[in-house]
Amino acid sequence: MRKTLNILFICLGGLTVLMQLATIDASETDQYLAVTGPCYQTFPQDHGAHPGYRTEWWYYTGNLRAASGDRYGYQLTFFRSQISPPGAKAKWPQPPSDWRTQHIFVGHAAISDIDGQNHYQAERMARQALAMAGATQKDGVTTVFIGPWSASISAGKHTLTAATPDFSIDLSLQASKPPVLHGEAGYSRKGSSAHNASCYYSLTRLLTSGKLEAAGKTMAVEGLSWMDHEYSTAPLENGIIGWDWFSLQLSDQTELMVFLLRQPDKRVNDASSGTFIDASGKSQHLSIKDFRINVLKEWKSPQTGGVYPVAWHIQVLPLDLELNVASNLADQEMRTAVSTGVTYWEGSISAQGTVGGKRVQAEGYVELTGYADAFDAPM
């Protein structure tokens, strides 16, 4: 059996190019690298790309304030998708072409103007060819880019840039804690099988400063960001229709990440888990038995009809932690028809509650997939 891969690219200037990239034996699609055990990431090397794994992303979110006190959230994400396994014997169309590639890069960017009640979003897509997109490493610096969008990552410092017709992001981030390896030494399970997993680490407290531009106004901003880097080949178990992912930066200098993998029967998959990071940077793995998340409020998208939770009560039992969490802006839905075709909610949140009986506040981000449509894309 043979399978022909046709990829539709939406390029700059509205140019649409449909290319037949390769013809590959379907039996060869299992030749991607698999994540089956501890990843033991080291830095700065593992800030770079991991070709051979089918999917990878570098993901930044943050909550920032201008001198005026106005609040902003932002997202900047870079995806790498490998379109054929490293062992596949692809029969490329002839003649040879400089446009040929095994990797597609996708970018999503957004700014949430919380006090202005506006959400700006954009997407980009390019192949790793002719310097249009890629992930490079030189002298300890990783640069991930799609055209003018880029993330430059060195030892503890990150520089983010993205310009769109409606908004722009120009930020400098400094890590105040070391990378956190989730799960078992970076091995994050996403199902009952060993290969339903990813290599996953985060930088959970990045001191951030720079400029945002939106609606013709430029704002100097400061605040905190969060960075995730994850790569895998088969991250999700069959039957999972979406996930709820939370990142929270608490006022006591601790952080919390939890994710719920949702099933069609409305139950949560047992592989759902999380990580707590104390003020010194030490991490503690959390299983699904350690936390409870209840939805308090929902919002229906007028664009897609998707119904999303936008307020929650979170308990982490071993930590005696309770938080009431709410979105800072209801409509933070990302609609990405040009790139991934996936509709999801990615938004700024705030929280208040107690840890060990002491009052805390928190800011963070939530990602919700599978609410507008069941999530079945490889990303």
Residues 343-372: pLDDT tens digits?
999 999 999 999 999 999 999 999 999 999
Cα 366 to Cα 358: distance, rounded to the nearest angstrom: 24
Residues 294-338: pLDDT tens digits?
999 999 999 999 999 999 999 999 999 999 999 999 999 999 888
Residue 257 has pLDDT above 70, yes or no: yes
Across the range 266-276, mean pLDDT stands at: 95
Tokens describing residue 342: 């996936």
Residues whose CB falls within 8 Å of the CB of residue 204, separated by 6 or more in sequence, listed in order: 177, 180, 226, 247, 249, 255, 257, 277
Measured between alpha carbons, how far is residue 276 from residues 207, 257, 291 in Å?
A: 19, 6, 11
| Residue 25 CA, distance from chain mean position | 31
Percentage of the chain beyond pLDDT 70 is 87
Residue 20 has pLDDT above 50, yes or no: no
Residues 177-189: pLDDT tens digits?
999 999 999 999 9
Average pLDDT, the chain: 88
Can you give the residue ranges of every domain in the chain? 2-369
- Residue 152: pLDDT band with limits 50, 70, 90: very high
Residue with token string 């840890």: 355
Cα 268 to Cα 259: distance, rounded to the nearest angstrom: 10
Residues 159-179: pLDDT tens digits?
999 999 999 999 999 999 999
CATH topology classification for 2-369: AttH-like fold (2.40.370)
Tokens describing residue 121: 């979003």
